[in-house]
Structure 1
């Protein structure tokens, strides 16, 4: 059984659904059911007796442009574990790019960030290069950047609060820095933070990092360790937008790409391209009356 849930333009939903079912059935796969969820009336659910997930998602991507989608071989349920990237996922900015603006280097550093997130550069080398360019920037710039530039993604607080209210353990894991991630996690309500630490001496950045690097392998390791700690039967949800999120997304029970780079989107079980982060709650089947809205 393959189950697909999606949110798309209601004005074209009927015609696009007919086309999708035609294309699916042309490949010899039976659609066992199709209809809107009773408790999330904006969500269309399709049940296939069988089907290749990659081909099914390609058909749905073709037929429902600008949609939110999640595919699963298992029944949908509220996850016990939520692990998320921070920059451009839980917040709308890339912290190192914004911090670089205070050093007059935003364009230069942002170009490196973009190539790293696209998977074109080795993450650790790109991170160390960017941090090195920030040498001698005053520590006070971090607080100013937080206050003036860093904002949560729409729906982030509601997503985290609602999952926690239903017993989900939440972890913010980032290739960014604790200087930003700790305040963001407190603001959004995450239970645990994993990130990198900027080197500081006498109130200025040293241009280096303290301790190990949080890269794609560490993100995956955190998800697997937390899953093991929570025990057998743990359902995990992971969200991210860049190439360094791919192993974590692939390892999760439900891996979602949020307004993501192409490689991350292609690796995920689904994507959020249309709505804000609360679309994840819709796709999981959590009724809006049960959302925790701050």
Structure 2
């Protein structure tokens, strides 16, 4: 008989192998069956019963395994593979914050980085923060866009996540509070079906200090997810969303599997499913994909 839940454990191979002690501890905590290897030394899944009153929560399991640098995700056995992927860009699919990096090259890095920090932690309204940050770019040369892009890199597992889900008929979307100048390039590099972001105002090779379209913020991200679900004709339970900032909270909360990826403190307080140690490949393991079927 198939048990109703699965506890997925994932480590980052670059930091060491998945510890047998961590697996044994986690299995005892959830009263699980024998672990099934998804990727040797990297990921296993442990079939287990539904959490009962008084049983360890996922937060407790995660805290217990922290010293092993192991992520733990508890998912239902049914409906694990998702039909929709919606992902944030900066510090999720792409390493770093592109606006902060632009500002650093333009000489206003400290001011912009502080506004970004407050916005991503949810202590400053996203739209107000974005407009204030963009205003600081006014009159400065746009050539730094290419320099930032040339120094950018995808987070480990990004392309694998997108390509594997696409190969299994999922619709994939990159939806960012960053800028379309970057989302178009990241979407092409990873193979996303579509991308959306804010439009940075530019005129005669200089930034105008304004946006050329309405702000794409947290509500817009949720709206894009709702649209994708409607287009695919599936419920929210069939969606995977991932992001790291406060502007991702609505879509993370709506998706059947919302994963806070190496997220800011406030987001980790509000989202149960978290990846704090391993790579974006953990999103595939959570859906039950073994590494043998990954599209690299």
**Fold shared per TM-score above 0.5:** yes
SS of the equivalent of 1:175 reads strand
The alpha carbon displacement at 1:141 in A equals 1.6
1:12 aligns with 2:11: no
Q: Deviations over 1:11-43 (max 9, x none)?
A: 42255236634xxxxxxxxx4x33312545531
The alpha carbon displacement at 1:84 in A equals 0.2
Equivalent of residue 153 in structure 2, options 140, 151, 165: 151
TM-score by length of 2: 0.88
Partner of 1:78: 81
The alpha carbon displacement at 1:289 in A equals 1.5
CA 233–109 in structure 1, closer or farther in 2 if over 3 Å, else same = closer
TM-score by length of 1: 0.89
SS of the equivalent of 1:12 reads helix
SS of the equivalent of 1:79 reads coil
Q: Which runs of 5+ in 2 are unaligned?
A: 12-17
Equivalent of residue 164 in structure 2, options 140, 162, 174: 162
Q: Which runs of 5+ in 1 are unaligned?
A: 22-30
Within 5 A, what are the aligned runs for 1:82-161? 82-147=85-150, 149-161=151-163
Count of residues paired in the alignment: 282
RMSD value, Cα? 2.1
1:175 aligns with 2:171: no
Within 5 A, what are the aligned runs for 1:184-199? 184-199=186-201
Whole-Å Cα distance in 2 between the matches of residues 15 and 5 of structure 1? Answer: 13
Whole-Å Cα distance in 1 between the matches of residues 232 and 169 of structure 2? Answer: 11
Q: Deviations over 1:95-115 (max 9, x none)?
A: 100000121111221111111
SS of the equivalent of 1:266 reads helix
The alpha carbon displacement at 1:239 in A equals 0.4
Partner of 2:57: 56
